[in-house]
Amino acid sequence: MTDPLETPDGRYIVVRGRLWRRSDPSLSDDRRAELVHDLMEARRAKKTALAADDPAAVEQARSRVDAAKTSLGERGPVWWDDDAPDETRRLAKNTRYADWFAALP
State whether 16 and 30 are in the same domain: no
- For residue 45, which of 34, 31, 60 has the smallest C-alpha distance? 60
Give DSSP secondary structure letters for 3-56: PPEE-TTSSEEEETTEEEEPPPTTS-HHHHHHHHHHHHHHHHHHHHHHHTT-HH
Domain count within the chain: 2
Domain identity same for 37 and 68:
yes
Residue 78 is predicted with a pLDDT of 97
Q: Give the model's pLDDT for residue 3.
A: 86
How much is the pLDDT for 35? 98
Domain of residue 50, residue span = 26-73
Residues 30 and 67 in one domain: yes
Q: Are residues 53 and 84 both part of a single domain?
A: no
Sequential pLDDT tens for the chain (105 residues): 788 999 999 999 999 999 999 999 999 999 999 999 999 999 999 999 999 999 999 999 999 999 999 999 999 999 999 999 999 999 999 999 999 999 998
This model's pTM is above 0.75: yes
